[in-house]
Structure 1
Amino acid sequence: MIKSAGWLLVFLGAAHTLLALTLEGAARYAGEWFSGALWYEDFSDMSPANSALWLSLESFGPPLIVVGLIVLWLDRRGITPPPFLAWTLGIWCVVDAVILILTPWPLFLLASILLWAGGRRAAGRANSAPHAEATRTP
């Protein structure tokens, strides 16, 4: 479950970033991004280039890829991700669903549930292992 959640988070982050850069055409503003044209822009009056930057590279996509990769890294080492990670992603997902109903929030909710359930399952195994040792007779 934890591995599935990690891969789903990586996929969703990568898909958002890549689709924003390609399908939405954000990459066409790369020249402006790297020229310094956005350095003194005001957020209350964003240019199309600034808006495209925040839709793609400065969006939640790249950090979500990192979170997914960390979840996978922890899982490969047998470390259970902390429960606050699943809860935080789940709360963020619900807020997203309320604000923008036409987003892939059900997939984010699925990733959060998988992460939470996998963490609970791993914690249950960890808690039952010492108990099994204590009940064993010599």
Structure 2
Amino acid sequence: MTTKKAWAVWKGGIKDGDGAISTETGVLKEAPYGFKSRFENGKGTNPEELIAAAHAGCFSMALSLILGESGMTPERIETHAAVTIEKIGEGFEITSSHLTVTAKIRVANEEKFLEAANKAKEGCPVSKLMKANITMDAKLAP
């Protein structure tokens, strides 16, 4: 089992506030995010962009594994993920993640490649997370 950690700090109201996201590896260190970067194309990152990056990266690794098991070693896999958030009723929901993948494989069978891509789409851990049970520990600061 491996556990990875990240955290966010938010200050202020939803529209006038701002936040910062960091990861334990230091890849993100107080990366700014806020209402404008999430809903108005402002500067900074946002949760959906980070989910898209995670989905693209996870899918690419899963596809590499599955292709290798099928005897097709990829020279390059490029995956783009587009995560959509929509207002549904009173709140917001992530309604879709669309993957666009291009793979360069020296010796490839298109049918086996498409089968591997579909298997990776269903089986990568981030795809599974989108259907996962979510647990939480919550407390107020003193």
With normalisation by structure 2, the TM-score equals 0.27
Q: Which has the higher contact order (CA 8 A, sep 6+)?
A: 1
Higher share of residues assigned strand: 2
With normalisation by structure 1, the TM-score equals 0.28
Larger radius of gyration: 1
Higher share of residues assigned helix: 1
